[in-house]
Chain A
Amino acid sequence: MVNILICDDEKDIVAALKIYLEAEGYHTLAAYNGAEALELAAREDVQLVLLDVMMPVMDGITAMARLRETSNVPVILLTAKSEDTDKILGLNVGADDYVTKPFNPVELLARVKSQLRRYLQLGGGEVKSGVLQCGGISLDDKSKTVAVDGEPVTLTPTEFEILRLLLQHPGEVFSPAQLYRRVWNDEPYGAESTVAVHIRHLREKIEIDPAQPRYIKAVWGQGYKLEGKGS
């Protein structure tokens, strides 16, 4: 039984979230401020926390910092503060994901599932040799398979090559010309559109929300990079 802790000072939002999650078969616990959330997390066995940032008594960031002292449970921050600085702050303090309000319920559920999968199935973190991992993506070069959050994904050879190149150099920016040379082994004449199309396809397959990619990020005017904790 998967327990999810929902914490928000708006009772209506908590109620709505309860309905969504219980419809998916999860069991939910509710808290209305940071202190309550910590209390419940300590008492009960939870596998995921949905945490609002702006709350009375104790806000989400503080609560999460406290939580992170003792637990590794995945936390998704849920908030109306959509500034980049707020997102970066939240992720730096230890959140695993960040969803802005108003949210798309489908997207939210997908993220919940992804986090749960990672936590429950991939928590062991066994790294086989020849396997490139970054965040939820694992690429096995020997068997030429790719899995995202445990779920296998089918990629074309080109897409596979691109992903592997990016995984081998996490955080490094590749211009379309460079990508073309490395992957197609050819001079990049008229290459950018081809590269862009392939990147888009790749995103659609591995990202939860291709419009807001978590892994393959575009550095506008320069190229693309893979973001996330590599190994």
Chain B
Amino acid sequence: MKKLRGSLWAKTFAIILLALLALTCAASVIAAWWLDEAGAYSRGWDHAAESLVRSRAQEYAENAGLNYLESGTTGVYDDTNFRYALLDARDNTLLFSNWQSEAAWESSLRVTVPHDVSVEYGEDTFDAGEAVHDGPEVRVTPTPRPADGEKVYVLTDFFTGESTRFSDRREVEDWEREHSVLVQGYVLKSLAVQDDFSQRLEALNAVWGLRAALPWIAAASLLLGLLLFVFLLSAAGHRDETDAVTPNVVDKLPWDVLSAALGFAIYALLYAIAETFRYNTPELVLCGGAFLLAGLLFLLWCMSTATRLKLGTLVKGCLLVKLLRWVWKLVKELFLALGKLPLVWKWALGVAALAFVDLLWRMGFQRDGDVLAFGWLLLWLLIGLATCYAVLAFRRLRKGAAQIAAGDESASVDTKRLIGDFKAHAEDLNNIRAGLSRAVDERMKSERFKTELITNVSHDIKTPLTSIVSYVDLLGKEELANDKAKEYIEVLQRQSARLKKLIEDLIEASKASTGSLPVTLTRCELGVLLEQTAGEYAERLEASGLRLVTEKPAEPVTVMADGRHLWRIFDNLMSNICKYAQSGTRVYLSLTREGNKAAVTFRNISREPIKLEGTELTERFVRGDSARSTEGSGLGLAIAQSLAQLQGGDLAVTVDGDLFKVTLRFPVAE
């Protein structure tokens, strides 16, 4: 089977065989139909013969009648088996006859002169009348018009061309009878002459024998034809050389063009067949040839389609499809170009387009209210959808932007189903977020680095310092006879202690200002803290010759603060007081409530004059003692201020002559 498929000989043979089978089938079908029409299957030979003859005889009779009416000719069809007699239509008078009472099939027919009858009513006359040229003038004779309500019959004789007007239907009938003739046709059963009739009967005889077999022949040829058709389809496109399906010249044409051309051709052929079909040999042969040709074209089309289907190029090859694709590409490019326009232009263009469409609808469908309404609805639906989409897209963008503003780093705007400018905006937002989170990460990294620096550096400094302190201390314990050595050792001890304090303060200050100190806010009663401080420092104040006066309100004053850090501040300030206050004076430690803030004030008289402003004193390494002769790093107030700020409060220093005042303020916790 595979070998056969590729063979050109097999295909050619199959086509020829198919053609023959098709013809056979067609012929048998037509013959059977012809016979059935003639009543051969139902009524028998006689009836069939008679009906075959009669139809032709009627034609002959009509022709003979018309000939006589027109020109009085008789003796037509003398060379055929047709005889006829003419009788007057009014009184059946014999006008002519060439039948000699031979055995014949009879048929009769009344033939009238061809004519036309039209009816006119009073208002319906359009004919203005006859125009008569009289020299330079033109006179119009108006056609006599029937009065309103009067019916007029206008009869036109096709042979003479004259028109006669009758006012009565009976008059029309009279005229018809006058101009008619009765034709009695006789087809001689002897059929001596070779004419149409004899041919028909010969054909009937020829086919009569086969009449029973005709359907079977038709069916069998049809079946075989189908098989061959299927074979040809499966063989379509296959060649001897290769196993693959190869297209030939026809297969490479665009399918729609091919289909259109072949379809047109086949239609034309079929139309021609329908027009010229007669039961005459020349016409039959022509029709058969045309039918065969049509069939071949159809086969060609089928085979080409089969090949294309096998190759998968059916749709691809279509010219129409190519055209559509090209148009689509054009449209896409157009939209792309439009998309690059600035936003406002795009909006303006869209509005203009919609307005134009609206205008067209209104103009074009002025008359039809329904269509206008439909168009209006459609327009508004489009507008609604477009604005809805825009609103939804904007909402998504809003949400995304709000999340980013709130600092949510993980939120990202979903760009699914956003187009054009909306998508660009969403992507920008996402970029901002990415940039933000990058910046935050950098900041955190630098913070971590700073903290690590503080802890590592502090460790690295403290280790050699420990050795210094230990060995200086050991030195101090040694029995040295050299007084100078003892003096030097004292200096070393003092300075190394100072160094230690300085380093600790420095680290504390760094931690406090970078905010890397952990702060746990709890409820702290400032009154209790005040008394605790007083208790802790009682002896030291006494040793410095200072008297402490505490003032606080009766009801407790609570703030949200970190107890340890608060204590550190108080410790710093009190230790400052012990160091720098004038001996013999009073120190005031008071707690007051100022609106919704709690204020703790430390007041003391300074021993040495302070030449700096309060704000300067809280800076790092600024010491009130400009000679820098006493112990102190200059960081105490700076640390205290940083700690206060860490907890949400603030520290202010005021210098008024010798009065040194430090005020701590914290918001009261309810």
Contacts and interface: CB of A to CB of B under 8 A. Distances in A.
Interface of A: 10, 12-13, 16-17, 19-20, 54, 79-85, 101-103, 105, 175-176, 192-193, 195-197, 199-200, 218-223
SS class, residues of chain B in contact with chain A: helix
A103 B466 CA distance: 7
Contacts of A13: 463, 466-467, 470
Given A80-B462, A196-B534, 8 more contacts: A12-B470, A20-B470, A54-B459, A84-B518, A101-B462, A192-B528, A195-B531, A200-B539
A221 B531 CA distance: 9
B171 to A, nearest CB: 134
B222 interface: no
Nearest to B470: A16
Q: Which 3 residue pairs across A and B have the least CB separation, nearest first?
A: A196-B535, A221-B524, A192-B531
B567 interface: yes
Contacts of A17: 470
B357 interface: no
Nearest to B562: A220
A101 B463 contact: yes
B467 A80 contact: no
B498 to A, nearest CB: 12
B459 A223 contact: no
A54 to B, nearest CB: 6
A195 B533 CA distance: 11
Nearest to A221: B524
A68 to B, nearest CB: 24
Nearest to A17: B470
Interface string B158-189: 00000000000000000000000000000000
10 contacts: A10-B463, A13-B466, A16-B474, A80-B466, A81-B459, A102-B500, A200-B538, A221-B526, A221-B528, A221-B532
B536 A220 contact: no
Contacts of A54: 459
A221 B529 contact: yes
Which of A81, A192, A195, A200 is the most central at the interface, judged by chain B CB atoms within 10 Å of its CB? A192
A7 to B, nearest CB: 14
Interface string B472-498: 011000000000000000000000000
A100 B518 CA distance: 20
A200 B295 CA distance: 125
Given A54-B459, A193-B535, A200-B538, A220 B466 contact: no
Interface in B559-587: 561, 563-564, 566-567
A79 B462 CA distance: 9
Which of A81, A102, A196, A219 is the most central at the interface, judged by chain B CB atoms within 10 Å of its CB? A102
Contacts of A103: 466, 469-470
Nearest to A177: B528
Contacts of A10: 463, 466-467
Contact of A196 (B531, B564, B567): B531
A137 B188 CA distance: 158
Which of B468, B525, B539 is the most central at the interface, judged by chain A CB atoms within 10 Å of its CB? B525
B93 interface: no
Given A105-B470, A221-B561, A222-B528, A199 B465 contact: no
A80 B467 CA distance: 12
Contacts of B449: none
B470 to A, nearest CB: 4
